[in-house]
Structure formats: C-alpha cells, structure tokens
Structure 1
Amino acid sequence: MSVQSPINASFEVDLLILNGTIVSPSDLIHAPASDIAIKDGKILCVGALQGLFTAKRVIDAKGGYVTPGGIDSHVHLSQQNSIGAVGDKFESGTRSAIAGGTTTVICFAFQAKTDESVLPVVEEYHKKAASFSYCDYAFHMILTNPTRSIVEQELPILVEQGITSVKLYMTYDALKLGDRQILDVMIAARALGMTTMVHAENADMIALITEQLYEQGKTDPYYHAISRPKISEDEATYRAISMAELIDAPILLVHISSAVAAKHIKDAQTKLLPIHAETCPQYLYLLSEKLHGENFEGAKHVCSPPLRDSMADLDALWDGIANGTFTILSSDHAPFVFDSPMGKKLGLKDGVSRFTAIPNGLPGIETRMPLLYKGVQAGRISIQKFVEVACANPARLYGLSNKGSIAPGYDADVVIWYKDNDTDFKPFALTNEMLHHNIDYTPFEDMEFGNWPKYTIIRGNVVWARDEGGILGKKTDGKFIRRVKAGLRQPRNKFVNEWIPQYRGRVPSNYE
C-alpha cells in the first residue's frame, strides 16, 4: 500500500527520503531542498519535493546527514592467495559491508606466478561473486606475471570487460615485480587508460632486516613492524613515483602508513604529476604497540605496511586526508581469522612465533565508514571531505560512472546517518560480536562510536536498517559493475608523448 506524501500528488516513486542534509564533496544541501525521490533504482530528482510525489516508502532522515553509498576500493574476498579461505568470502564480506554503509566493493582477482593467462582468473572470480554478494562489486587485477601476451593482448580485453585497474607489488617474493616489469605495465596501462595500483615497500631492505632478526631469535609478532621500517616504504614510494613520472602514468599508491611517504606524494602532486594515494583506518588509529601481547595476540594486528610507532605518523595521515594528499580511504579488508592453524596462527608452530608466517592483513570492511566518521566528529576532517574520500573519489578514480554522488540519474546508493547527539542513537563500545563478517576478531575492539549508518540503500532498496532488524538485503542483491576509464588526474606530459606512442600498450620485443 502506498504511503501518501503530505500533500496530494499523482506521480508515485519507490522511495522518498525527507528532512536530511545531503552531503557532497563541496556542499551541504539542507531541508527542505534536500528531499530525494528514487524510482527504478535511480535518483529521479533532488529538491523540495514534499507534496509532489506519493511513494511506496518514505524515510524521515530526521536531520541526519545523507551521503552517497560508501565505495571500498581495496577489498580482499574469496582470494586464491588467502590461505585456506578461512575468513570472508563474498557472502559474509559484503554482508558486513552494507552494515557499515558500503554499497560497492572493488575486490582483487589474483594472478598466481604460474598463471599464463589472466582471463580464466577473472572468470573464476565472477563465479565466486555472482549470487553471493549483498552489494555491488567490481574487480581489480593483481598482476604477478605480466607476460608479453598478457600485457599486449589481455589487458585490452580486461578494459573491454570493465576491469580498468591493475595492482602491482614491489614486495613479497610470490608477488613482486622488478622495476622494468613495473615500467612496462605502466606503459600499457597509460595507453589503455587504466589505473596502476602499487604496493610500495623495498623488498631487499625487508629481507636483510628479517634475516638479522631471525638470527637473533627475534621472531615474535612485534618484530614484523621492526622488519618493515618506514624507510622501506618511503624509498619504494619515491621510486614508484619516479617511474610514474618517467611514463607520465596515473598511479595509486595503496595503504600509505608514514608521514614521509605522504610527503613524497604531496610533493609529486604539487608538480602536477598524476599521483594518487590511499590510506586505511588502521593507520589513522592504531600503533605498533598493538603487536605486543600474550598468547600470540599481537598477530591480530600484523599487516603490511605495518602499524607505525609514532602518533606523529597518525596525525600526518589525518592531515593528508584533510589537505587532499589522500585521494581515497579504503579498508584493505583481509579475511584472516585469528584462532585457526590456517589463519593468523600459521605463525605459531610448536609454541614458537614466526612473524614471517603470519598472514598479513586486518579485517575492516564494516568499520571503515564509521571510523572515518569519528574523524568528522573529532573535528579532524569535514563531512564534505568524508564524502570525497569514502564515496566520490573512489567512483571517479576507478570509473564507477553511476556511483558516488547524490544526483539525478545516478544509482540510488545512499547512506543515512543519525543526527549527531540524536537520542535515538546511544554511543557504544564496539565488540566483534556486533559485526557481520566471518572473522573472529576486530582490531578496533572496545573503540567508542558516536554514530553508525542508520540506513544503507542500494539502487533504491533498503538493505540495512539498524533499528529495524539490521540486515534486510539478500546475498543475490549485488551486481557486477563494468567500469569505465578513470576520471581523475590524466597524463599531461607532452615530452613523454614523443616516445611512448611507439609501444601503444605493447611491451618491447626484447621483453620476456
């Protein structure tokens, strides 16, 4: 039965959202001009709409912020190199996502070193995700063996399939590429309009320190942080930027954790280089002291780059969000349980710790948006910046052309927050039991939260209603999103054009 708007009207929509404050990266739209009419999964119009429509459902935002759906563009789900698949697959991971205000995830299809083609890898990931996703999803391709045929013939096919980004590693023996391989991929990606993501840490520095630590018997989880010092990230970040400058190729440096690395990125952006950066909530809130602890508990906080030891780094990263150094904030959600011999406890054998055997990564897909909102409440960033880095910029950077904005014609992906200090919301200390992932801990246990998404809406459907039973969506709601080319910083160096076009996305003939 239809719910009548305050004044008689004749045109019926699926959903009306009233009395909220719409947030964009540049503005706030207050009631009464902030009403949203949604029909057939799209935003039909925005404005003072009371009395113009009837609706199947009306939601009163009660003065809370109304933001675009969150886009988490760095998520590991059902990934082949997630040892033993002991954590989140698409079903549990995306269920957790919508409970935290995320409406689209971009996950990684992983090429093993032995894979001679990436096309079957993509097919397999489609099978893992189809009919098992509560939210919309897309894929990045992790390249660990960029052969000539893959770079020359298969990357263009990926672009046609709507996969317009690749991720490269400068560390991990099973994943890392040499500088020449990275340069060749950058050339191809530039020609195809793809974005290249780079995990920047100096593998040789890390290997040297790790050998010395093991010789001294220093193998507890805390030494993971010691083995990957800030200088290893700083050097690799500068080197990746230098390679991108040579090619004039857009890159995104993922999960930045240190102040110096952030400064390298800001300096490059000041030179108008097409450099983007990402950081994650763990680097805004947690310090390496978390890697200490009895009963191997420190393993819960092992990630790479590691948590840093100084509040100065945390403050610098918050400043980097505020001043635009960081294009996006992602979770880097990594689905490893703790209490399993195939999870974090891989690093504990016969009672002896081995930090190099601990799977790297932290869960965080559900807490990403609420943790960033804490920064709004603390005055570290504006609500407009919140929307920019969590919603709008991920859509623009990764070619999600119908996402990331509350505007007519866009997908009706919307999150409604409680009004701050609303009596309907009681602040709480987080426990893992409150979350919807399939992981047995959260690194943010006992952290206080003063807000949480009240409603999550995907293409006009309410999939999460915190006060109405929580999860309302289904694992078949999510759709694969074909992406277009990125809409942020693009190549601009005319000198590079004198020599780049000879390759046109192909590697040189002497490359094997």
Structure 2
Amino acid sequence: MTTTPPLDLVVRNARIATASDCYDGDIGVHQGRVVQIGASLPSGVREVDARGRVVTPGGVDAHCHLDQPMPAPVRMADDFDTGTRSAACGGTTTVIPFAAQHKGQSLREAVDDYHRRAQGKAHVDYAFHLIVSDPTPHVLQHELPALIAEGYSSFKIYMTYDDLKLDDGQILDVLSVAREHGAMAMIHAENADCIEWLSRRLEAAGRVAPRFHALARPMLVEREATHRAISLAELVDVPILIVHVSGKEAVEQIRWARAHGLQIYAETCPQYLFLTAEDLGLDDSYQGARCVCSPPPRDQSNQEVIWNGLRDGLFTVFSSDHAPFNYDGTEGKRPAGEEVSFRHIPNGIPGLETRMALLYSEGVLGGRITLEKFVELTATNPAKAYGLHPRKGSISIGADADLVVWDEGERVIRNSELHHAVDYTPYEGRRLRAWPALTLARGEVVWDGQFQPRSGRGQFLARKAPSLWSRR
C-alpha cells in the first residue's frame, strides 16, 4: 500500500491555463514539484486561494542577455542577481541567457566564465545558450559536440556585428554540427554588408542621430538574411530558429519556407508589437537611443503582421531579448559618457520583467490571442524548443511547480517600480490590464507584490535535445 506524501502547498480554486486547454482545479505541490491536480485536494502545509484568477506556468524567457562580457567601456546593467530578480517579479521562472565566445577564445572558456558570473546569484532557474563566433576546427570537432552532450543544446549564430558574424561557409559548418548532434541553432538574420554600406553613406551625410539606425537597417536587410539563413538550413537539412523577427518581409520568407515543408521556427519580441521607428526619434534628439535595437522597430502596419503571426502559429516563441544597457552614465547607451553615432550605440532594450504582462494585457485581454496561445508562446514552446519540457513550461504531474497567479486590473508601467538595474524602460507610462499577483519558483514564493529574494536558489539546467527538433 502506497502512502500519498503530504502536500507542501496547494494552489486552490485555480483557473488553470495550459497550452492545450483551461479548466478549474487545485494544484498540489510536494518538494518543489506538481504531484496532484484535481478538485478538492487535501489540505497542504501552505494554501494559496486563487479563486477567480488564472494560473499559468511560470514563463520561460529563452532569449535574454545578463552580465554578458562587452567591449570596454560598455557594460550590462543587469547581472544574474538583478536580472533574475526582475524575471521573478514579472512571472518568469526560467531564463536562458548567452555564454558568448569571443574570437580567439575557446567555447569552453566562455562557458566556464559564464558559470562564474552566475554562481550563487540567480533567484530562478537558468540555462545557457552558446554564442559561436569563432568556429575553429577544434570548436567544431571537439568543443561544440561535447558541450551539446553536456546539456548546452542550443547556440546562436550571427550574420551581422563585426565581432560576432560568421560567413556562409562557417554557418554551414556550424549547422552541420547541429544536425549531427541534435542541437537547435538560433540565427540573427541581418545582412552585415548592406548595413555597413548604408551606415557609411548616412554618416558621410551627417545623419548620425539614433533615428538613422532604422534607415541603416531597413526590412530588406532582414529579408535577405532570413532568406539566406533558410537556404543554408535547407542545404544542410537542419531545423533553425530565426530570432527577433520584426516585420512583414522576414515573415513572408518564413511562411514560404514553412509552405515548402522546411523546419523553420521563429521568435519575436515585445518591441515589435509596442514600439515603432518613431520611438527612435522624430528629430535628432539623442533620447531615441533608448530604443535602439536590431532589427529596429518598424511601423504600425508591421505590428499587425507580427500580431497575426503570433495568433496563427507562425511564431514559436515570444522572448524579451532583454539587453540591459543604462541610458545615463558611461557604460551604456552613451559610451564613455558621450553621445555617439547611431552605429556605436549599444544595441538592445530592457524587457525581461514586462514581457509576460505586456502580452497578457494586449494579447489575451485585448482579444488578439487565446489564453492557451499565451501559455504556448511564453512558456511551453520555449521549453520544448530548448530541451526543458515537460519539467518547465507545463502544469502537469512531475513538472516543477513554477506557477504564476494573475491579477487582472489596470496598472501603469513605471521604471521606478520595476526590479531590473536599468535606469529606464521603453514602455514607461504604458497602461496594462494585468500583472502577476504571485510567482512561485519550484514551489517557493519569489513574488507576492513584494520581491522575496532567493539568491543562489536558482539551479543551472542541463538540457536535452529540443523536443521540437526532428530528423527527416
């Protein structure tokens, strides 16, 4: 006769939302995992009454940058302490930032350095993507296969940025490793040569304000690189995931590939739903530097294209691409304290804490996507894409008790009320319709209207092969 273990926690009377359905019930937790789901569960040591409120899996932010080494004097404002603090307060319970290899550095050295940066700091669980910028024969033949086998089952390839980009032959080499070893390759798709040519012409004409960042990166440079990335993946016969897709022209390339039976996955981010090129500035003010990211935000018609892609399944993942550079000071958007040409402004915007609430508010409560689609995009699919499912991204027996209880009601985004270490948010003043009331990470409260520190409790997660990945 087996004895049911006592429940450490019961989340009672929940409207449970998963990627497949929504239903009412109680969630029983023991030793940090979901062990029972049902009606009228026995009492737990602790109880949370979620009556009238939606409960979703904790978010998986599968594309964020924390304490990533940068060329001096630039430095990211968020480390694993402040970054995972903001994640927890926004309903995200797993983050996957990047261990970035620099040219001349071994991939193993980059991973070891990143573990040192994370050690003892994280409040929620984390894994690492790799960034492969120097695919030497040793990296391709030894380091990368070994790291994939150890649980670093995804990596990012850049087609732009001088210190990170690979040429087509190098991309083919790296994709071949992904195919052989069952890893997921993420690709930043922008044409570096076109960007450089446009940037030089703009600078020669004295057009250096932040708003010209968008003119140096028109949609066609994303379209061409997306098409090329798809073609390279087709040649190797390997799935890829195109990150931070910004608008119609790249979307059309991905739809074409899907229609031809190719395994092309796609990600988008809040900046392509809630910002436009006008946020980079309508004049030569430097204020627009706050919203410089790549690809840049487009226009309202392209926002609608992105919403359609979220609704109809074009996009697999919704990530923040959190890149935490301060606006003021000497280490962020004003390197060495100076206003610089658009091409030298550190790329990226903060958004780890606001990702979930923005999509819940304007997507679910705005009638644009279903609650099930919200869970799929923010939790379940990222966990599947990067080898963490069903432990993460799921409310199911045996899954980690990573749960978010939602409060629906008006709230205004104020940077002063956020928990990252960045001195601004691009969404300042935006009205939301919901925010997490409670975040549980492996059954422990990390947010209940106040941050509840769990520094060092976040575990590193070695990952399996992506469950979206399939050899043909």
TM (norm. structure 2) is 0.96
* Deviations, residues 283-341 of structure 1 (Å, cap 9, x unaligned): 01110111116752110000000111x21110000100111110000000001000012
The amino acid of 2:90's aligned partner reads G
Q: CA deviation at 1:123?
A: 1.0
C-alpha distance in 2 between matches for 1:133 and 1:144: 26
Alignment partner of 1:89 is 2:72: no
C-alpha distance in 1 between matches for 2:328 and 2:371: 37
C-alpha distance in 1 between matches for 2:384 and 2:251: 21
Question: Which residue of the other structure, out of 294, 297, 305, is the alignment partner of 2:287?
Answer: 297
The amino acid of 1:463's aligned partner reads V
Other-structure match for 1:488: 468
Other-structure match for 1:383: 371
Other-structure match for 2:457: 477
The amino acid of 1:189's aligned partner reads A
C-alpha distance in 1 between matches for 2:208 and 2:61: 33
Q: CA RMSD in A?
A: 1.5
Alignment partner of 1:200 is 2:189: yes
| Structure 1 pair 297–150 and aligned structure 2 pair: CA distance change class (3 A) | same
C-alpha distance in 1 between matches for 2:10 and 2:143: 44
Alignment partner of 1:355 is 2:345: no
Q: Contact conserved, 1:136 with 1:481, CA < 8 A, in 2?
A: yes
Q: CA deviation at 1:278?
A: 0.3
C-alpha distance in 1 between matches for 2:99 and 2:375: 27
| Structure 1 pair 149–54 and aligned structure 2 pair: CA distance change class (3 A) | same
Alignment partner of 1:367 is 2:354: yes
Other-structure match for 1:25: 19
Q: CA deviation at 1:24?
A: 1.2
Alignment partner of 1:36 is 2:19: no
C-alpha distance in 2 between matches for 1:409 and 1:23: 17
Alignment partner of 1:107 is 2:101: no
Other-structure match for 1:276: 265
Q: CA deviation at 1:430?
A: 1.1
C-alpha distance in 1 between matches for 2:15 and 2:411: 24
Question: Which residue of the other structure, out of 375, 385, 393, is the alignment partner of 1:397?
Answer: 385
Alignment partner of 1:465 is 2:448: yes
Q: CA deviation at 1:154?
A: 0.8
TM (norm. structure 1) is 0.89
* Deviations, residues 145-187 of structure 1 (Å, cap 9, x unaligned): 0011101101121122210011000001111000010011001
Instruction: Find the residue that maps to 1:457 and give its secondary structure.
Output: strand
C-alpha distance in 1 between matches for 2:260 and 2:469: 12
Q: CA deviation at 1:348?
A: 7.0
Instruction: Find the residue that maps to 1:452 and give its secondary structure.
Output: strand
Other-structure match for 2:426: 443
Other-structure match for 2:439: 456
Instruction: Find the residue that maps to 2:335 and give its secondary structure.
Output: helix
C-alpha distance in 2 between matches for 1:86 and 1:180: 31
C-alpha distance in 1 between matches for 2:216 and 2:225: 15
C-alpha distance in 1 between matches for 2:261 and 2:404: 33
| Structure 1 pair 11–105 and aligned structure 2 pair: CA distance change class (3 A) | closer
Higher deviation after alignment, 20-29 or 228-237? 20-29
Other-structure match for 1:6: none
C-alpha distance in 1 between matches for 2:57 and 2:125: 14
The amino acid of 2:89's aligned partner reads A
* Deviations, residues 18-39 of structure 1 (Å, cap 9, x unaligned): 1111111121112xxx210000
Identity score, percent:
46
Instruction: Find the residue that maps to 1:408 and give its secondary structure.
Output: coil
C-alpha distance in 2 between matches for 1:442 and 1:263: 31
C-alpha distance in 1 between matches for 2:348 and 2:13: 40
C-alpha distance in 2 between matches for 1:86 and 1:193: 32
Instruction: Find the residue that maps to 1:433 and give its secondary structure.
Output: helix
C-alpha distance in 2 between matches for 1:95 and 1:108: 18
Q: Contact conserved, 2:64 with 2:97, CA < 8 A, in 1?
A: yes
Q: CA deviation at 1:56?
A: 1.3
Q: CA deviation at 1:353?
A: 4.1
The amino acid of 2:257's aligned partner reads A
Q: Contact conserved, 2:16 with 2:54, CA < 8 A, in 1?
A: yes
Q: CA deviation at 1:489?
A: 4.0
Alignment partner of 1:325 is 2:314: yes
C-alpha distance in 2 between matches for 1:346 and 1:10: 59
C-alpha distance in 2 between matches for 1:296 and 1:237: 30
Other-structure match for 2:124: 135
Aligned residues: 466
C-alpha distance in 2 between matches for 1:274 and 1:106: 22
C-alpha distance in 2 between matches for 1:393 and 1:471: 27
Structure 1: give runs of 5+ residues left out of the alignment.
1-8, 493-512
Q: Contact conserved, 2:184 with 2:469, CA < 8 A, in 1?
A: no
| Structure 1 pair 354–221 and aligned structure 2 pair: CA distance change class (3 A) | same
